[in-house]
Structure 1
Amino acid sequence: MGDAMKLGINLLCLGGHIDESHLPLIERIAEIGYDHVEVPVMHGDPSHYAWLGERLAGLGLGRAQTSIVPDPDANPLSDDPAVRRRGLDHLSWIQDCAEALGSETVGGPFHAPMAHFTGEGPTEAEIARGAEAHRAMAERAGRNGYVLALEHLNRFETYFLNTMEQARAYVDAVGHPAFGIMYDTFHANIEEHDQAGAIRMLGEAMHVLHVSENDRGIPGRGQIDFATVFRTAKETGFDGPVVLEAFGAGVPELAAATRVWRPLFPDVETLFSESHDFIRRTWEAA
């Protein structure tokens, strides 16, 4: 490979909680030539992720993770001190697991509860509370040698962070080098006028690039112009992980949040192989 692009895969295509049963497929991911995996860290405890991290390292795979805020009753943005305290405890648990797993990046929408709406956009007070919480996370991440990559979602999944204009302003509000954004082509395809302009606006704040087709199936089969996305990412000097994200219908907790009710790829072998080849080829050509 002429460049050092680091290709990952988000394991939500296999399940919402990764355990022993998923290891044969993860071995296959390593064989095909992915460099790292992004582990969904939704529940469980650090000891589980310490075990998993060792197994992944044994396969030669780097580790990363995505996490969410699952519950409005533990919302780090809340103006209710008890609810906010539970939210901050949850963010701390995310980092406990990240450090056990050996995650190099911690991504996902760990800002507001999934699919929870207030009837308006984020208030200034919510943005200030979020920025304070995420700055504290970034300080801890910086001390421990990993980075945060907060994910924007489209307007149907969150009200807090939808556009790169919002994301850029939020990065500036947090103001810490370990804090940046997980840019996701699926969400941007809904919210942005053009992906190239959105990526340029984000600039060095893009810590992870999520490669996700417009239907969340196999990239290259849909409408998103990945050649332009990759070319623009390279132009901005992006050298972070490029991560495949595709969803199947097999993960009930995910289907409910993302409205995936039908299979979006024929089988995981096709997903792994075709996506790997498409992303590597398109990145090299960009």
Structure 2
Amino acid sequence: MKLGFNMLLWTPHVTAAHEPILKALKKTGYDGVEIPMFEGTPDHYARVGEMCDRIGLERTVVSVIGPGGKNPLSPDKAQQKAAVDYAKWVIDCSSALGAPIIGGPMHSEHGFFSGAPATAAERKRGLSFHRRAGDYAAKKNVRLSLEALNRFESYFITTMKGLAEYLDEVDHPAIKGMYDTFHSNIEEKDPVAAVKDIKRHMIHVHISENDRGTPGKGHVPWAQTYKALRAAKYDGWLTIEAFGSSMPALAAATRVWREFFPNPEEVYKLGYKNMKQGWAGAK
């Protein structure tokens, strides 16, 4: 088991200026960090990877398909091509970073709604997108770990059962799935039991409290969640994802209108203890 922390708590774009934060996470005991990927070049991320290597931190990536004419579900051929090009850019940057897993909702445009449930035609376009992206990712030794989002952020994939069935249909070794405690808390009838639905595809886990604050200070059933993950024989990353209001653009995108914790130190220190002790106690 590896313990990670998502850098979105501080920034959407990690640079050398964030080295003190990375060192603090390493000192706390984290095995790695999750690097947000929304801008930049492979050369930039290669330098970030070198910085993390010096500190002793492994890497994963989180990215989304934002607005700007690159929705893979769109009937517009230009948008479909732009989506594939974007996925290739994320994969190239992740490879340069030394990150073998790309987590996040890389299946549809984040925050876009058609006003209706997903159609068979949209699903067909999604499958085509992921098979093409998967072929490219495989060549770079990278895997995409798709994330189901809650209904207020996406209409395409919102549950673990729905995600698992979609991945069954994609049927590509480089396209897998992830479990996220925040979204599952909203969408699942039984968030803990939903681990079983995704376990055959699960290669990544986001640890996030029900309010996006400090893990262990909300109502996510952590003891039962860790027990379910261990029962599923999961042995990958547990990566904390928490958001604050320090960056207005990111706060708006994640609907953060108030503070959920007194300071970042509480989140990564108590969050680490929550994961370390919770996992050990789930045997």
Q: TM-score range by the shorter chain?
A: over 0.9
Residue 221 of structure 2 corresponds to residue 225 of structure 1: yes
After superposing the two structures, state which structure 1 stretch, 11-20 or 135-144, moved more. 135-144
Tell me if the contact between 2:91 and 2:140 (Cα under 8 Å) persists in the aligned partners. no
Alignment partners' CA distance in 1, 2:78 and 2:123: 18
Tell me if the contact between 2:80 and 2:129 (Cα under 8 Å) persists in the aligned partners. no
After superposing the two structures, state which structure 1 stretch, 150-159 or 196-205, moved more. 196-205
Residue 115 of structure 2 corresponds to residue 119 of structure 1: yes
Matching residue of 1:52: 48
Which of 167, 170, 180 is the aligned partner of 2:166? Answer: 170
Matching residue of 1:244: 240
Alignment partners' CA distance in 1, 2:83 and 2:115: 21
Matching residue of 1:199: 195
Matching residue of 1:78: 74
1:73 counterpart SS class: coil
Give the TM-score of the pair, scaled to structure 1: 0.95
Aligned length: 282
Ranges in structure 2 where 5+ consecutive residues have no aligned partner: none
Cα displacement (A) at 1:44:
1.2
Q: Counterparts in 2 of 1:171-190, with a 5 A limit?
A: 171-190=167-186
Alignment partners' CA distance in 1, 2:6 and 2:247: 13
Which of 243, 254, 261 is the aligned partner of 2:257? Answer: 261
Residue 73 of structure 2 corresponds to residue 61 of structure 1: no
Alignment partners' CA distance in 2, 1:137 and 1:226: 34
Cα-to-partner distance string for 1:233-266 (whole Å, 9 max, x where unaligned): 1111111111111111112222122110222121
Cα displacement (A) at 1:26:
0.9
Residue 9 of structure 2 corresponds to residue 13 of structure 1: yes
Amino acid at match of 1:220: G
Tell me if the contact between 2:88 and 2:136 (Cα under 8 Å) persists in the aligned partners. no
Percent identity over the alignment is: 41
Amino acid at match of 1:143: K
Tell me if the contact between 1:67 and 1:106 (Cα under 8 Å) persists in the aligned partners. yes
Alignment partners' CA distance in 1, 2:247 and 2:154: 20
Cα-to-partner distance string for 1:66-116 (whole Å, 9 max, x where unaligned): 011111511111111112111111111111111111112101111111111
Alignment partners' CA distance in 2, 1:147 and 1:168: 16
2:193 counterpart SS class: helix
Tell me if the contact between 2:91 and 2:142 (Cα under 8 Å) persists in the aligned partners. no
Amino acid at match of 1:115: G
Give the TM-score of the pair, scaled to structure 2: 0.96
Tell me if the contact between 1:157 and 1:258 (Cα under 8 Å) persists in the aligned partners. no
Amino acid at match of 1:138: G
Q: 1:257 to 1:265 in 2, by over 3 A?
A: same
Residue 231 of structure 2 corresponds to residue 235 of structure 1: yes
Matching residue of 2:281: 285
Alignment partners' CA distance in 1, 2:251 and 2:236: 28
Amino acid at match of 2:214: I
Cα-to-partner distance string for 1:25-44 (whole Å, 9 max, x where unaligned): 11100111100100000111
Cα displacement (A) at 1:177:
2.3
1:196 counterpart SS class: coil
Alignment partners' CA distance in 2, 1:285 and 1:124: 44
